[in-house]
């Protein structure tokens, strides 16, 4: 028999201030309630008709998005059980880059169904056992539901049909434009062996103004700033990349210099000037036309850059500096000096362009296949650009997923509806109490088509009865939600080209089931008293007034 920690009889067991919650009512149901609250927040943002959330974080930064990963990251959830769902969703974002909302919605629905069984009188361990059986069976059935596969990731049409569904879930109405951009960028950087595809090779630069239809793909890299000197363009240029500033090197120790006359005053800094000029002259003689620095450029250095007709640009992000090194084949040097032949990069065109009202610098490789492509996104507001970037990010991550496993399942909620049908049949054949939990697991999967229908403004109950009828009439299992229907109708997901990636779906369902099981296994919550100490003073409303 498990050792129970009594509440009143052993106050000396813990320090003063500890809180102890135990049993189904106090611990399990409270946890489920918190998780359901979180799920309700993101559920209305699910699918192509998902509504946006306006989130203002602790730094007063405004986010307007329907991307679940961004919403829950900025919400700063503190409840320990709900935090587990947040962690699972973040893990899905890290591993697959898509279907984060599916993890949250499905985990919340599994817990909601479990709550009904708990209230009927089942023990949590019996529910956990049934859910584990159902989860394994669902994974087996999912393998059988594959209806198509991407055999060649370098084929435009095959990539487009996968990316389109992922992008439409975020930016419904702009899916054609964004799919074209993502596929173009991916094919530009696709290596000979597609399984080596790197999502970092596709960059996004956001330029305010115009609209999404004016977005384009640039072979190479785009930086949202102008060169520092007078030179604005260089062709067939050798590139030297420095992570140190282009300036006179400062001495490490401080010293005092005593100057006796005007001549000494004039000669004082001449040595440094001569040394700096010699460095830039050597760079020019070595054929370097473009200088890139990850730090500042001094005024004197800028003078010599202009004198020797070199193009100099600051790239302040160390990640962008690494990517640029990959594009040009250069090595970033930590010292100012002439790079060796193998440390120098080469770029065919470095030029300044005007996109909208902004001037940007483009590093472009025309002849050879470049290792980086940049999608220049246009939009009216910064929030819209951020949301477009998230949709592009999902599209690129889906391409990464299909280079590993190209199998596809029908989208639009068809896969979940078919899983529900088959799991219910499996539950009927299972003896004992497990069948109740298996059936509830199957019903929980219904949340996907139901949510898609609700968010599209349909009568969900009427629609689900039609969807189940369609799945029982056909063995194909491809009937899904027609979000454009005005009559609560269904559609054939395969015919309409709506596909989900099997590996992404499998990962999301696995993470959701594991999270729900972990939360159901908790029977006691023991909370210590928060650490003491004085709280930092809050700014008063008129803190800046005398």
The enclosing domain of 245 has a CATH number of: 3.50.7.10
Is residue 290 domain-resident? yes
In this predicted structure, the answer to whether residue 366 has a pLDDT above a threshold of 70 is no
Residues 6+ apart with CB under 8 A from 312: 227, 228, 229, 231, 246, 290, 291, 292, 293, 297, 302, 305
Give the dihedral of Cα atoms 452, 454, 456, 457; nearest 10 deg: 170
- The SS3 of residue 536 is coil
CB-CB contact of 228 with 305 (8 Å) = yes
* Mean pLDDT for the stretch of residues 48-74: 82
Query: Which neighbouring-strand residues pair with 479?
Result: 492
Same domain for 363 and 229: yes
Q: For position 503, which CATH number holds?
A: 1.10.560.10
% residues pLDDT > 70 (the chain): 90
Q: What angle do CA 60, 61, 62 make, to 5 degrees?
A: 110
For residues 483 and 511, the model is more confident at 511
Same domain for 414 and 367: no
In this predicted structure, the answer to whether residue 6 has a pLDDT above a threshold of 60 is no
Closest by alpha carbon to 527, among 159, 1, 30? 30
What is the H or E stretch that residue 19 is in? Answer: strand 19-22
DSSP annotation of 341 = G
Q: Which range, of 7-11, 199-203, 332-336, averages the lowest pLDDT?
A: 7-11
Q: Give residue 497's Cα distance to chain centre.
A: 24
Determine the Cα–Cα distance for residues 86 and 149; give it in Å rounded to an integer: 31
% residues pLDDT > 90 (the chain): 0
For residues 15 and 312, the model is more confident at 312
Assessment of whether the complete model's pTM goes beyond 0.95:
no
Same domain for 330 and 437: no
DSSP annotation of 150 = -
The CA-atom distances, in angstroms, between 226 and each of 37, 206, 295 are: 48, 15, 15
Domain span at residue 30 reads 19-147+410-524
Is residue 397 domain-resident? no
For the chain, what is the domain count?
Answer: 2
Same domain for 239 and 333: yes
Is residue 191 domain-resident? no
Same domain for 455 and 339: no
Phi and psi angles of residue 129, each rounded to the nearest 5 degrees, phi first: -60, -45
Is residue 8 domain-resident? no
Confidence band for 533, pLDDT divided at 50, 70 and 90:
low
Same domain for 425 and 367: no
Same domain for 142 and 86: yes
For residues 431 and 182, the model is more confident at 182
Last residue of a domain, one of 371, 388, 420: 371
Is residue 64 domain-resident? yes
Token digits of residue 105: 């919605």
Same domain for 461 and 319: no
- The SS3 of residue 76 is coil
Is residue 226 domain-resident? yes
Same domain for 358 and 454: no
Is residue 166 domain-resident? no
Is residue 30 domain-resident? yes
Same domain for 440 and 520: yes
The predicted pLDDT at position 10 comes to 47
In this predicted structure, the answer to whether residue 546 has a pLDDT above a threshold of 60 is no
* Mean pLDDT for the stretch of residues 344-372: 75
* Mean pLDDT for the stretch of residues 157-181: 83
Same domain for 110 and 46: yes
The CA-atom distances, in angstroms, between 358 and each of 225, 232, 292, 314, 315 are: 8, 15, 20, 16, 17
Give per-residue pLDDT as tens, 222-269.
887 777 878 777 787 788 888 877 776 665 566 677 777 777 777 766
Same domain for 492 and 358: no
């Amino acid at each position: 028999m498990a050792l129970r920690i009594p509440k009143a009889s052993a106050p000396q067991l813990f320090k003063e201030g500890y809180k102890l919650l135990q049993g189904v009512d106090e611990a399990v149901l409270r946890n489920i309630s918190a998780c359901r609250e979180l799920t309700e927040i993101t559920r209305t943002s699910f699918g192509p008709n998902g509504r946006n959330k306006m989130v203002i974080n602790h730094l007063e930064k405004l986010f307007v998005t329907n991307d679940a990963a961004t919403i829950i990251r900025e919400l700063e959830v503190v409840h320990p059980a709900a935090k587990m769902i947040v962690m699972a969703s973040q893990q899905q974002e890290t591993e697959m880059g898509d279907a984060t909302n599916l993890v949250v919605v499905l985990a919340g629905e599994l817990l909601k169904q479990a709550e009904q069984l708990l209230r009927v009188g089942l023990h949590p361990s019996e529910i956990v056992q049934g859910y584990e059986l159902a989860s394994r069976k669902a994974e087996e059935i999912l393998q059988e539901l594959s209806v198509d596969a991407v055999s060649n990731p370098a084929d435009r049409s095959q990539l487009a049909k996968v990316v389109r569904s992922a992008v439409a879930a975020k930016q419904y109405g702009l899916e054609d434009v964004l799919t074209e951009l993502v596929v173009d960028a991916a094919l530009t950087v696709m290596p000979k062996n597609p399984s080596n595809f790197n999502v970092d090779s596709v960059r996004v630069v956001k330029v305010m103004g115009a609209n999404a239809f004016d977005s384009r793909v640039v072979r190479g890299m785009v930086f949202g700033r102008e060169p520092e000197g007078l030179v604005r363009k260089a062709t067939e240029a050798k590139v030297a990349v420095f992570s140190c500033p282009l300036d006179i090197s400062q001495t490490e120790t401080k010293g005092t210099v005593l100057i006796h006359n005007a001549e000494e005053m004039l000669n004082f800094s001449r040595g440094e000037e001569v040394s700096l000029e010699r460095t830039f002259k050597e760079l020019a003689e070595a054929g370097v036309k473009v200088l890139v620095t990850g730090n500042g450029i001094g005024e004197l250095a800028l003078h010599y850059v202009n004198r020797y007709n070199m193009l100099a640009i600051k790239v302040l992000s160390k990640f962008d500096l690494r990517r640029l090194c990959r594009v040009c084949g250069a090595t970033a040097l930590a010292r100012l000096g002439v790079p060796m032949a193998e440390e120098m990069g080469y770029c065919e065109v470095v030029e300044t362009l005007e996109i909208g009202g902004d001037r940007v610098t483009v590093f472009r490789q025309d002849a050879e296949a470049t290792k980086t492509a940049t999608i220049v996104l246009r939009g009216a507001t910064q929030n819209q650009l951020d949301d477009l970037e998230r949709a592009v990010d999902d599209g690129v991550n889906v391409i990464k997923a299909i280079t590993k496993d190209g199998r596809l399942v029908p989208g639009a909620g068809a896969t979940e509806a078919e899983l529900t049908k088959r799991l219910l049949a499996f539950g009927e054949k299972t003896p004992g109490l497990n069948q109740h939990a298996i059936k509830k697991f199957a019903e929980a999967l219904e949340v996907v088509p139901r949510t898609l229908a609700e968010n599209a403004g349909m009568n969900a109950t009427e629609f689900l009865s039609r969807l189940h009828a369609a799945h029982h009439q056909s063995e194909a299992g491809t009937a899904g939600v027609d979000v454009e229907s005005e009559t609560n109708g269904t559609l054939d997901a395969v015919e309409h080209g709506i596909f989900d990636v099997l590996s992404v779906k499998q990962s999301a369902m696995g993470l959701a089931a594991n999270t729900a099981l972990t939360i159901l296994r908790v029977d006691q919550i023991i909370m210590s008293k928060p650490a003491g100490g004085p709280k930092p003073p809050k700014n008063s409303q008129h803190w800046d007034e005398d």
